[in-house]
A and B are shown apart, each in its own frame.
Chain A
Amino acid sequence: MSRQITTVQALNEAIKLAMRADERVIVMGEDVVGGTGLPHLEEQNIEAVGGAFRVTKGCSVEFGRERVLDTPISENTIVGTGVGAAITGLRPIVEVMFNDFLGYCLDAVMNQAAKFRYMYGGKANVPLVVRMPFGAGYGAGAQHSQTLYSMVTSVPGLKVVVPSSPYDAKGLLLAAVEDNDPVIFFESISLYGLKGEVPEGYYTIPLGKAEIKRAGSDVTIVAIGNMVQRALQAAEQLAAKGIDAEVVDPRTLSPLDEDTILASVEKTNRLVIVDESNPRCSAAADIAAIVQEKAFDNLDAPIKRVNAPHTPVPFSKPLEDLYTPSAENIIRAVAEVVNDESIIPV
């Protein structure tokens, strides 16, 4: 098992496996095929793009344009259509090109998908997956770089997934498609090109199960999405300074695997949470609140959060670099909770 593929390829593989396994699975979104309706492409079954980030590449070629649908630019109706199709028997995977466009489709997500089952007394299932890329770091500015999973996590009725590696991306996406609840699947743009080991076959990773990405005994670092990779880098640097960090990846924010996080804190007695969201009402704030409520006696130091600042994402490269939590920011936070400034790189 040594095949290395990128996160984009892993997601692509998951979508194809899901579509092969269950013909109710369909894909919809802007440019998920590209060029639909153009005779010179359709006659030869050529797609113009296969998704803005190529995640659905080849899907229309294999499964046809009835199951892989280019949509007009109409986010609210694209996701809303996904909700309706899910309720009535399909299992749609909807792509929203950037999570920032939640602005247009939040009604479908928050008022329709999330509420349907509850407000109709448990009669309906909404087996819908809405995939959306997120995150800063590539010069796209304030309306294409946000990290909005925290906002969505606060809505009951939605499941929220944020993978941190190609392996997890594939297994979690397949689990999301199998799941009978609406799942909002956040894909870190900065991980799209990351390569990792991924088995070829069908496998799922259960929603609601965290993973310890690196075992350690001195401090727990809970990190989300691409921040897991930053936390692992920080942990390597910390190891060289004699600090043994444990990196915990919740993998899904809703449901949240509190047990794994609490068990880790019980062992290390110190907690840093790394989250690319803006700090207020963030996943980091939420996890910090849970841990201090349930494990206050296990804490030897105040919990430290590492978030992006309370600002929109700036375009200018040096400002954007400052905006995104770095390995150095993580090390500084760890230095505070272990009360050892000597570990901060100079």
Chain B
Amino acid sequence: MSNTQTQQTQANILSAEKTRWIYRKMVEIRKFEEAVIKGTRNGSLGPFAHTSDGQEAVAVGTCAHLNEKDYITSTHRGHGHSIAKGGDLNTLMAEMAGKATGCDKGKGGSLHLADLTKGNIGANGVVGGGLPIACGAGLTAKLTKSGAVTVAFFGDGANNQGVFHEALNLAAIWKLPVVFVCENNKYGEYTWNGYATAATKISDRAAGYNIPGKTINGNDVVEVYQTVGEAIERARNGEGPSLIECETFRIQGHGISDPQIYKTEEEKQLHLTDEECIKKFKSYVTKHQLLSDKEMSEIDQSIEDTVEKALQFAINSPYPDAKELYTDVYVSY
């Protein structure tokens, strides 16, 4: 392909509507996480949170292909996944504060955001916990012929859990409509993936399960959109699972108070470079004239307001009633 052709194809990848949606969601997640950091530090939210700022492109580029019938399973770093899958900022933020108006009535917290009505089967406090659950959702979709695809988000650290291998194998032999999306931010807490993982690339693991595996730039939302899109299409067509490794970085530490001494100076500055995912997308849309600066700053402003309202909603909402301690343990007992 000639350069001009590539550029044209590049420009056609995203519809105007998708472009706006992607930009909006990425900024929504970023601003939400910034509010979470603020709220966690000043005590208006819960005592901890693992924020996903820096990794927005993976959640958004992936969920851009999913409808409400599709499922995701998420992780302890799951705010972005929840937002990208259509979660309501007010109820998400209220959950973070443990309020009755939260998406789990305040019983779950940051580690356990879930909204089944939107196909979000839930964030998980157990590393790797969502992977077999995604297989289960895939099995339902397959047996009921619902056409739904399940995306299992997981971190690089989770790829050394036994369940990761078991889930990939099972999904492969049963040709489940599941896409395994790895957010490789290079660290599992304070442990470097280069040390913890024997494979050169996490996507190399796919070969052992005879499924497609790809490693892509997870800071490039367009690349995520294209590559994960193909895997989702494949799954929807009954051709089985894929493993996509998205290389990215977290702007914060593991949690909010992590001094990150394991990162090099260069890594600590990554969010100031062109690799920062929102900046990267901005230059893409500008280059291809998909969104103007004015449109983007209007979106930014409206999100600023929405997120601030969400934080106020969380702060002003009541705590759950004491009797809620005992409800929801069983359906009937």
Contact = CB atoms under 8 A, between A and B. Distances in A.
Contacts of B106: 314-316, 319
Interface string A44-57: 00101100100000
Given A100-B126, A143-B124, A316-B98, A36 B192 contact: yes
A277 B163 CA distance: 28
Contacts of A142: 107-108, 112, 125
B126 A37 contact: no
Counting contact residues on chain B (CB < 8 A from A), the size range is 35 or more
A71 B191 CA distance: 8
B191 A36 contact: yes
Interface string A127-147: 000000000001111111000
Contacts of B157: 72-73
Interface string A170-198: 00000000000000000000000000000
Nearest to B198: A72
Q: Determine chain A's interface SS by DSSP, over half rule.
A: loop
Contacts of B160: 72-74
Interface stretch (A27-35, A211-219, A292-300): A27-35
B243 interface: no
Given A38-B262, A138-B47, A316-B107, A72 B196 contact: yes
A52 B127 CA distance: 15
Nearest to B329: A311
B6 interface: no
B320 A318 contact: yes
Interface of B: 46-48, 98-99, 104, 106-112, 124-129, 157-158, 160-163, 188-192, 194-197, 261-262, 264, 319-320, 322, 324-326, 329
Interface of A: 30-31, 34-38, 40-41, 46, 48-49, 52, 70-77, 100-101, 103-104, 138-144, 309-312, 314-319, 322-323
Q: Which 7 A-B pairs have the closest CB atoms?
A: A37-B195, A315-B109, A316-B98, A143-B125, A34-B190, A72-B160, A316-B106
Given A141-B110, A143-B126, 11 more contacts: A31-B190, A73-B158, A73-B191, A74-B162, A101-B126, A139-B46, A141-B111, A144-B125, A315-B98, A316-B99, A316-B109
